Every structure is written in C-alpha cells, then in structure tokens.
Amino acid sequence: MFNAKDYEMSLAAACEGVELRDASVLVTGATGMIGSFLVEALARMNETAGAKLEIFAAGRSGAGIAGRFGALAEKPYFHYVPYDATQPVRLDFTADFAVHAATSAHPLAYATDPVGTMQANLFGTARLLEVLRGQGSGRFLMLSTGETYGENPDLPDGFVETDHGWIDPMLPRACYPESKRAAETLCASYAAQYGVDVLVARLCHVYGPTFTPTNSRADAQFIRKALAGEDIVMKSTGSQVRSFCYVADAVNALLTLLARGAGGQAYNVANRASVASIREYAETLADIAGVKVVFDLPPEVERAGYTKVTRAVLNPAKLESLGWRARFDLRQGLEATYRCCSGE
C-alpha cells in the first residue's frame, strides 16, 4: 500500500499539462512499474477531469490485475484484457491508443532467460502491431529503452535520437537492447508499409514506488534496502553514469507523446536534472533513508545480467519541444518514492 497523499501528488504531476478525452486506451504490462502508474494516471483523468477514457489493462492474470488495482478494477471504465506477450492477441474492442509496456526489463531475466526476453519483446510487438493494422486505426506507442544506443562515451551531452553506439550481438546480455532495436525497426516498417500510426519512447532508467517484487535492477534493490532500514549494498564501484527519471515524469512524457508526438518518430524520455552515477543515486537514497552504502561483489549469475555500458545519458530536447518538462530532480524523485512507500 502507498501513502495516499504523496502518491496522489505524484499522479497529479503525471497528468499535468496533458489532455486525453473520449478514447479507449490499451496498456500492456499493466501491473508493471510504468504500466501500472500509467493506468492509474488515466483513471485519475477520468475521476478529476471527466476524461471519459475506457481503460483496458492487459496482463497475464485477472487476479494479478485485481490485486494490483483494487477498487479501481471495479470501475465501469476499467476492463481486464488477458494478455501474454508470447501468445496471439485477440481484442474485442477498438483501441484508439495502445501503449506497449510489457517487457522483462530487469537483469535477472537477461541472465536466466535471454531467449524468452527476446521473444517477448519482438513477437509481442509484432502481434500488437498486426492488431492495430487489422483494425485500421489507432496510435501505437512502444516503450523502448535507451539501451538501444549501446556504448558511445564520446557524447557529453547525451544521445539524441539519431545517434548510435555499439552493442556486441554475441553477448546474451544483448538480448534486451537488440530485441528492442528490432522491435523499433518493426514499428517503423509497419508505419511505412501499412500506415500504422507508431511512436517509440526510449526510456532511461525509470524508478519510483511502483517497482515490482520481481524487479532485480540495482535501483529497485537499493529502494528495498532503504525501506527496510538496511544499508544499501553496492555490487560494483557504481561509477556508471545514467539518466534517471521518476515514474511520474516518465508517465507524463508518455501521455504527452500520445497527445502530441509526431507519428513514426522515436523520443528520448529522460530528465536533465537526474544525470548521476549509480553510486550517487545510492548515496542520495541512503541520505534520505538514514542508512549507509556498503559494497559487496555479486554472484556470477547476477553479474551476467549487468550491462557493460559505462555512460548512458539521453538528451530529451526532442521531447521537450512538445512542451514536456520534468518536475522531479533526482533527490525530489527519490524522496517521493521513499515517502510513498514508507508512509513518511
């Protein structure tokens, strides 16, 4: 359960400056960190602004959907859609907007199931694109990743959407960025060949109170430790530099893209005020929670899922040109996360 007051403030920030009305919105990965927050932001638009949105939350389990959303799942505008990214997709409604947020975006999945990770990313995207093609309308927004840029440390201002770096395709850890790269190309191909209205959001490292129990990313592990009042365990020197983004800002970016993004384009989703090393992230969170940062080497299976990229900074200028702005710097976002989860 979240601290209601602080969580509501984050949801309000996610909806600020964006208007969607009288539309059906499909969200895959609806119980994930970003998908669940997006669903709740859409519901808030209904409750506070009379947006009249029909929300279709897609996931593997109806019980999981009900458990995550509680009373919201009983609202007349809320609909559960059975969905598995590895299986054919059938919809009995027309989606005005489809947000594809289903993915295994955490290192343990990359290390233990690289084949499943690739198949879900690529085949799941293909099946949804085919549905949109078949219905003849609708805007498709695929959540991709800044990892598609790979490694290129010679870009001090961060990657823009036309930049490229290198990825070694023979490393199993490349299962995630390479399958997302292929899925992006598939989106572009459906736009060119069939006229499907597609958008791609290249997300940086998104964090927030909606992290899932299975999320094995370092930032999620840090938050679990901080909430338990335990020292944060660093399993590297933490020198890698990343763009971070609080989930409310990320969801506000996705809503902005649905409303105002140019079709057939990719957009970086990142916060200029949240570029930090992993160690700086951990130390900021530790200061907020009143704990310490300690260091320990990870086991081999866990280390296999880590990215080799040393600097992953995204330039959000293209997104900002649509009127989007981040509202939480790194400390503010981590404070909001901690308050939402701890009740403080």
* C-alpha span between 41 and 302 (Å, rounded): 34
CA–CA gap between residue 43 and residue 45 (Å, rounded)? 5
Query: Between these two residues, 10 and 239, which has the higher pLDDT value?
Result: 10
Distances (CA, A) of 245 to 149, 151, 160: 17, 20, 16
Q: What is the pLDDT of residue 305?
A: 47
Domains of the chain: 4-210+245-273+314-331 (3.40.50.720)
| pLDDT score, position 342 | 84
What is the token pair recorded at 323? 């009127």
In tens, the pLDDT along 140-158 reads 999 999 999 998 877 777 9
Pair of tokens at residue 28: 């895959």
Percent of the chain with pLDDT over 70: 95
What was the pLDDT predicted at 152?
A: 82
- Residues of the chain by 3-state class (helix, strand, coil), percent to 5: 45, 20, 35
Residue-averaged pLDDT of the chain:
92
Look at residue 293 and give its three-state secondary structure.
strand
Maximum mean pLDDT: which of 220-224, 293-297, 305-309, 331-335: 331-335
Place of tokens 């995630």: 176
Close Cβ partners of 226 (under 8 Å, ≥ 6 residues apart): 232, 285, 286, 288, 289, 291, 338
pLDDT score, position 93: 96
Structure confidence by residue, pLDDT tens digits, 111-138: 889 999 999 999 999 999 999 999 999 9
pTM of the model: 0.94
In a 3-state reduction of DSSP, which class is residue 100?
strand
DSSP structure class, residue 225: H
Measured between its terminal Cα atoms, the distance across the chain in Å is: 13
Q: What is the pLDDT of residues 248-279, one digit of tens each?
A: 999 999 999 999 999 999 999 999 999 999 99
DSSP 108-170: HHHHH-HHHHHHHHHHHHHHHHHHHHHHT--EEEEEEEGGGG-B-TT-TT-B-TT---B--TT
What integer pLDDT is reported at residue 254 of this predicted model? 98
Neighbours of 321 (CB within 10 A): 11
**Count of other CB atoms within 10 angstroms of residue 115:** 9
Per-residue pLDDT tens digits for 75-89? 999 999 999 988 888
pLDDT digits (tens, 9 = 90+) for 274-318: 999 999 999 999 999 999 999 887 666 555 545 566 788 999 999
Judge whether 227 and 1 are in contact, CB under 8 Å.
no
Amino acid at residue number 200 = V
Higher pLDDT, residue 323 or 110: 323
